[in-house]
C-alpha cells in the first residue's frame, strides 16, 4: 500500500559523533512517535537545525525532524536514511514512556518538532506536521491511533509541548491525535490500521507495573493493587469508553469488578 508523498523531506544531518547526534542506532525497532514543539516562537525548522549544529558539542538534547510552514528537515536519520538513529528528546528518568510503550523514548521513538509563531503560517505548518507524523507511522508500521504521544504527556512536570505550539496555532492535542489517523487514511486511500477488538473475556499480560482500579475505568479511581510486568491478568469484560489515556479508552474488567487499562497489556 503506497503513501502519498505530499511534501519533500530534506536531510540536513548533524555532525556525528557529537553530543546531539551519537550515531547510535534505534534497536530493535521504532515503536512510537513523540510529538514536540520547539518552544521558540518564530524559530523555523532551518533555524533550529542550524542551532543544533552550532551547539552540537554543548548539550545532548536533540530531535529527528523539524517542521514549519515551508520545510520538513530531518537532522538525525529517521525517515530518509536507514537505519534510524537515536535522538535525545525525552529524559531517561521519565518512566511514562515505558508504561505506555515498554521502551524509553530515546531508544525506540522518533521525535518530531513543530515550529510555530506569528511569522509562520500556522495552517500550513500544521498540515505538514500532521502529515509527517502520519508518514512516520506508515514508514515503521505503527498504528497511528495508538503510537503517537506528546512530550508533555511523558514529562508533565517539566514540559508543555506540543500543547503550547498547537494552542498558538488554534489547535489542541486531542485534535492532533484525531487528525493523524485521518491523514494516514487519506494518504493510503484506506482506513488507518486499528487494534483488533479484544474478545469479551480472556487473559492478557501486563507489560509494565500496572494499576488495578476499584470499580471504575478511570485513573481517578482508587488503586486496589499494582501488579508487576509479566503478570497474567484474566478479564471477564471490557469497557471501550473508559477514561482515554493518550487517546486509548479501552479498559478490561476483572471478575471482582475492578478495571485495568488495556494500554499496559499485550
Give the start-to-end residue ranges of the domains of the chain.
Answer: 10-188, 202-264
Write down the architecture of domain 10-188 according to CATH: 3-Layer(aba) Sandwich (3.40)
Residues with Cβ within 8 Å of residue 208, at least 6 apart in sequence: 98, 99, 102, 229, 264
Picking from 113, 124, 133, the residue whose alpha carbon sits closest to that of residue 48 is: 113
CA distance 47 to 227: 46
> What pLDDT is attached to residue 263?
85
Write phi, then psi, for 96 (nearest 5 degrees).
Answer: -65, -35
Tell me the three cell numbers of residue 141.
508500521
> What pLDDT is attached to residue 229?
85
191 CA to centre of own chain: 20
> Following DSSP, what letter does each residue of 198-240 receive, concatenated?
PPSSEEEEBSS-EEEESSSSSTTSPEEEEEPTT-EEEESEEET
Please, what's the b/e burial string for 214-243 (b: 16 or more CB within 10 A of its CB; e: otherwise)? eebbeeebeebeebeeebebebeebbeebb
> What pLDDT is attached to residue 250?
92
Tell me the three cell numbers of residue 94.
521519565
DSSP character for 83? S
> What pLDDT is attached to residue 196?
75
Residue 177, preceding peptide bond in cis (omega within 30° of 0): no
Tell me the three cell numbers of residue 213.
482500579
> What pLDDT is attached to residue 166?
96
> What pLDDT is attached to residue 221?
95
> What pLDDT is attached to residue 175?
94
Per-position pLDDT tens, the chain of length 266: 799 999 999 999 999 999 999 999 998 999 999 999 999 999 999 999 999 999 999 999 999 999 999 999 999 999 999 999 999 999 999 989 988 888 999 999 999 999 999 999 999 999 999 999 999 999 999 999 889 999 999 999 999 999 999 999 899 999 999 999 999 999 999 877 766 788 999 999 998 789 999 999 999 999 999 999 889 999 999 999 999 888 889 999 999 999 999 988 88
Q: Which residues, in sequence order, are bridge partners of residue 34?
A: 111, 149
The C-alpha angle 244, 247, 251, rounded to 5 degrees, equals 40
**Could you tell me the pTM of the whole model?**
0.84
Amino acid at each position: 500500500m503506497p503513501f502519498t508523498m505530499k511534501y519533500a523531506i530534506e536531510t540536513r544531518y548533524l555532525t556525528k559523533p557529537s553530543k546531539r547526534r551519537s550515531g547510535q542506532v534505534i534497536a530493535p525497532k521504532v515503536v512510537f512517535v513523540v510529538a514536540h514543539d520547539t518552544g521558540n516562537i518564530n524559530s523555523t525548522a532551518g533555524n533550529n537545525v542550524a542551532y543544533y549544529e552550532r551547539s552540537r558539542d554543548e548539550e545532548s538534547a536533540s530531535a529527528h525532524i523539524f517542521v514549519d510552514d515551508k520545510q520538513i528537515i530531518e537532522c538525525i536519520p529517521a525517515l530518509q536514511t536507514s537505519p534510524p538513529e537515536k535522538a535525545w528528546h525525552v529524559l531517561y528518568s521519565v518512566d511514562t514512556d515505558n508504561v505506555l510503550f515498554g521502551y524509553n523514548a530515546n531508544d525506540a521513538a522518533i521525535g518530531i518538532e513543530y515550529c510555530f509563531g506569528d511569522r509562520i503560517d500556522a495552517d500550513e505548518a500544521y498540515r505538514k506536521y500532521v502529515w509527517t507524523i502520519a508518514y512516520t507511522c506508515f514508514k515503521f508500521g505503527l498504528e497511528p491511533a495508538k503510537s503517537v504521544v506528546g512530550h508533555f504527556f511523558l514529562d508533565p512536570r517539566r514540559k508543555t509541548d506540543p500543547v503550547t505550539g498547537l494552542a498558538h496555532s488554534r489547535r489542541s492535542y486531542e485534535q492532533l491525535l484525531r487528525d493523524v489517523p485521518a491523514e494516514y487514511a487519506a494518504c493510503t486511500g484506506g482506513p488507518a490500521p486499528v487494534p483488533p477488538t479484544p474478545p469479551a473475556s480472556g487473559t492478557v499480560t501486563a507489560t509494565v507495573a500496572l494499576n488495578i482500579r476499584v470499580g471504575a475505568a478511570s485513573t481517578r479511581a482508587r488503586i486496589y493493587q499494582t501488579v508487576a510486568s509479566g503478570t497474567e491478568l484474566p478479564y471477564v469484560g471490557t469497557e471501550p469508553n473508559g477514561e482515554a489515556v493518550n487517546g486509548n479508552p479501552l479498559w478490561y474488567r476483572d471478575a471482582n469488578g475492578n478495571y485495568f487499562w488495556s494500554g499496559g497489556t499485550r
